[in-house]
């Protein structure tokens, strides 16, 4: 199976449209974007693909980070340095942004404290850098408790559950499998919206197809392999 394949799902289309609008934000205007949705729906993969093809900085937050650790890590992504103090990290980040303004992507942003999120808003206000905050379903709810930050959010992209159409396209492009519409609907139900689970299902289906010498997958195959039940 092609593990590097990236398909254009409806969620990806929404993300691209929103980032395009964000990139056109005038300097000095609000330009923050929130991407939210349940785990496994492809938010991180989508953001990483966009990051790889656009001028941006990508940072994935760790749950154990203090605010100082976050600024240190963000500074490293900008210039390869990890200062000990928050103020030095911020100064170096500002120096880099003054040289070349880039979109800032913060993944797992819902792990950050309200204070840290508000300080990121300060960075956005001062530099006019577009900023994308990615988190789970409660991301915008958390931000809404801070009026100064929520007022800067001009785009909210909700990642919806994986669709049968997404599964059919992924199966063909990643594993050269022809999955019937009925089987795609069943896989979508079993995955409960998670593309991550679909990936696991596809590995099993591809293995079965190789053994049988047949690339067509139907409901009988789904039942036989007990997909979603083990």
Nearest to 74 by CA among 42, 114, 102, 39: 102
Nearest to 112 by CA among 125, 131, 128: 131
Confidence of residue 230 (pLDDT cuts 50, 70, 90): low
Give me the mean pLDDT over the 38-67 stretch.
Answer: 95
Q: What is the pLDDT of residue 4?
A: 77
Q: What is the pLDDT of residue 28?
A: 67
CA–CA distance, 54 with 62 (Å, rounded to integer): 24
Segments making up each domain of the chain, as ranges: 10-158, 164-224
CA–CA distance, 153 with 49 (Å, rounded to integer): 22
In degrees rounded to 5, what are phi and psi of residue 189? Answer: -65, -45
Could you give the angle at the alpha carbon of 110 between the alpha carbons of 123 and 193, nearest 5°? 130
In CATH, what number does 10-158 get? Answer: 3.40.50.300
Average pLDDT across the chain, whole number: 93
Residue 19 has pLDDT above 80, yes or no: yes
Query: Which pLDDT tens digit goes with each residue over 149-185?
Result: 999 999 999 999 999 999 999 999 999 999 999 999 9
User: How many CB atoms are closer than 10 A to CB 63?
Assistant: 7
Q: What is the DSSP string of 64-108?
A: T--HHHHHHHHHHHHHS---SSHHHHHHHHHHHHHHS--EEEEET
In degrees rounded to 5, what are phi and psi of residue 117? Answer: -60, -40
3-state secondary structure of 192: coil
Residues in the chain: 230
Could you list the beta-strand ranges (E) of the chain.
Answer: 32-36, 56-60, 103-107, 131-135, 153-158, 178-179, 216-217
């Amino acid at each position: 199976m092609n593990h590097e394949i990236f398909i254009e799902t409806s969620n990806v289309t929404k993300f691209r449209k929103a980032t395009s609008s964000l990139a056109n934000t005038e300097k000095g205007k609000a330009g923050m974007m929130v991407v939210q949705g349940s785990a496994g729906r492809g938010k991180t993969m989508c953001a990483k693909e966009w990051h790889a093809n656009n001028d941006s900085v990508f940072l994935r937050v760790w749950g154990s980070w203090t605010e100082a650790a976050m600024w240190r890590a963000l500074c490293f992504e900008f210039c390869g340095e990890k200062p000990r103090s928050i103020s030095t990290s911020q100064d170096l980040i500002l120096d880099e942004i003054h040289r070349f303004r880039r979109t800032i992507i913060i993944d797992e942003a819902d792990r950050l404290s309200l204070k840290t999120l508000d300080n990121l808003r300060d960075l956005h206000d001062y530099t006019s850098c577009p900023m994308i905050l990615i988190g789970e379903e409660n991301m915008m709810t958390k931000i809404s408790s801070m009026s100064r930050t929520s007022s800067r959010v001009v785009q909210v992209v909700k990642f919806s559950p994986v669709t049968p159409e997404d599964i059919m396209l992924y199966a063909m492009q990643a594993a050269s499998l022809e999955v019937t519409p009925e089987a795609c609907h069943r896989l979508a139900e079993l995955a409960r919206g998670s593309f991550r689970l679909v990936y696991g299902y596809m590995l099993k289906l591809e293995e079965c197809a190789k053994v049988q010498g047949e690339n067509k997958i139907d409901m009988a195959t789904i039942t036989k392999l007990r997909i979603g039940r083990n």
